[in-house]
């Protein structure tokens, strides 16, 4: 069972909005090293061409992310998580985001199935790591180490850390989700710099992970929204129920 620490401890003062994205809003605090990350109910897909709302998604994703970040910290993965402040708010370290999004794949689905013609549901022989350039105007194109070096997105040392952390997170989460009856199909990670160190940031939730029931292969993630499968809120609630059981 994962316990979420709800103790607020020292109060932080919420300041002006720094950034608003598709699923979250970031606010300054009276500590320049810390931000408040607020989770929204808004849902988007296909480069935001599909938009909607998933009831209580922000509350659920904050709870799931807070629990998983704490678990990863205990396993030796440094993250931006500080503490859960409220139903929708998380206190986090203020990162200089590395504009390289990592996708870890264990089972073929989504973009991998489409681009390589691999049938969805095919278990991959080994986990596959992909890098995408975080750029909405360019639709987050697939890139490799040479592109990263050419664009100056991160140093070789930073990318070594990001790669090592990504494989470790995959191993930890795949084992954890497996124990609660879920297949970790694939997921996205974001990293950032904080005082010279690389930390895991953003969130880990059904928004950023494909999670299937181990017995039925029922999708319990954002694909229910993407594909109009219905029972979206129930799927998110089921993931939360399992990780907290």
- The side-by-side arrangement of strands in the sheet containing 81-84 is 14-20, 24-29, 34-39, 89-93, 81-84
Tally of domains in the chain? 2
Q: Would you say residue 9 has pLDDT above 60?
A: no
pLDDT of residue 11: 77
Q: For the chain, how many residues are written?
A: 245
pLDDT tens for 74-94 read 999 999 999 999 999 999 999
Please check whether residues 73 and 158 belong to one and the same domain. Answer: no
Q: Would you say residue 102 has pLDDT above 90?
A: yes
Contacts of 96 (CB under 8 A, 6+ apart): 192, 193, 194
> For residues 107 and 105, what is the distance between their CA atoms, to the nearest angstrom?
6
Q: Would you say residue 6 has pLDDT above 90?
A: no
pLDDT band at 10 (very low <50, low <70, confident <90, very high): low
Please check whether residues 47 and 135 belong to one and the same domain. Answer: no
CATH of the domain at 81: 3.30.200.20
Task: State whether the Cα torsion 231-234-236-242 is positive or negative.
Answer: negative
Please check whether residues 59 and 105 belong to one and the same domain. Answer: no
pLDDT tens for 190-240 read 999 999 999 999 999 999 999 999 999 999 999 999 999 999 999 999 999
CB-CB contact of 235 with 224 (8 Å): yes
Please check whether residues 131 and 186 belong to one and the same domain. Answer: yes
For helices 57-74 and 232-243, the axis angle rounded to 10 degrees is 30
Q: Has residue 2 been placed in a domain? A: no
Contacts of 110 (CB under 8 A, 6+ apart): 186, 210, 223
CATH of the domain at 152: 3.30.470.20
Instruction: Please report, for residues 44, 121, 165, 167, 194, the alpha-carbon distance to residue 112 in angstroms, rounded to integers and kept in the order given.
Output: 20, 11, 22, 18, 32
Please check whether residues 82 and 18 belong to one and the same domain. Answer: yes
Q: Would you say residue 7 has pLDDT above 60?
A: no
pLDDT tens for 139-184 read 999 999 999 999 999 999 999 999 999 999 999 999 999 999 999 9
Q: Has residue 243 been placed in a domain? A: no
Q: Would you say residue 242 has pLDDT above 60?
A: yes
Please check whether residues 120 and 202 belong to one and the same domain. Answer: yes
> For residues 222 and 211, what is the distance between their CA atoms, to the nearest angstrom?
9
> For residues 221 and 172, what is the distance between their CA atoms, to the nearest angstrom?
19
pLDDT tens for 12-49 read 899 999 999 999 999 999 999 999 999 999 888 877 67
């Amino acid at each position: 069972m994962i316990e979420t620490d709800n103790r607020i401890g020292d109060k932080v003062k919420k300041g002006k909005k720094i950034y608003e994205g598709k699923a979250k809003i970031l606010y300054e605090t009276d500590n320049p090293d810390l931000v408040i990350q607020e989770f929204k109910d808004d849902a988007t897909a296909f480069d935001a061409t599909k938009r909607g709302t998933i009831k209580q998604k922000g509350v659920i994703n904050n709870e799931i992310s807070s629990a998983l970040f704490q678990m990863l910290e205990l396993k030796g993965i440094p993250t931006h998580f500080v503490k859960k402040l409220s139903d929708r708010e998380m206190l986090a370290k203020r990162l200089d985001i590395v504009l390289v999004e990592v996708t870890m794949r264990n089972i073929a689905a989504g973009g991998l199935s489409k681009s390589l013609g691999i049938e969805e549901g095919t278990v991959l022989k080994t986990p596959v790591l992909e890098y995408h350039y975080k750029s909405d105007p360019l639709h987050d194109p697939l890139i490799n180490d040479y592109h990263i070096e050419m664009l100056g997105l991160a140093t070789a040392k930073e990318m070594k850390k990001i790669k090592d952390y990504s494989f470790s997170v995959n191993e930890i989460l795949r084992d954890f989700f497996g124990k609660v009856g879920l297949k970790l199909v694939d997921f996205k990670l974001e990293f950032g710099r904080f005082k010279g160190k690389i930390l895991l940031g953003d969130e880990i939730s059904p928004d950023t992970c494909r999670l299937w029931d181990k017995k039925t292969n029922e999708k319990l993630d954002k694909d229910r929204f993407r594909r109009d499968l219905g029972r979206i809120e129930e799927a998110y609630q089921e993931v939360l129920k399992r990780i907290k059981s």
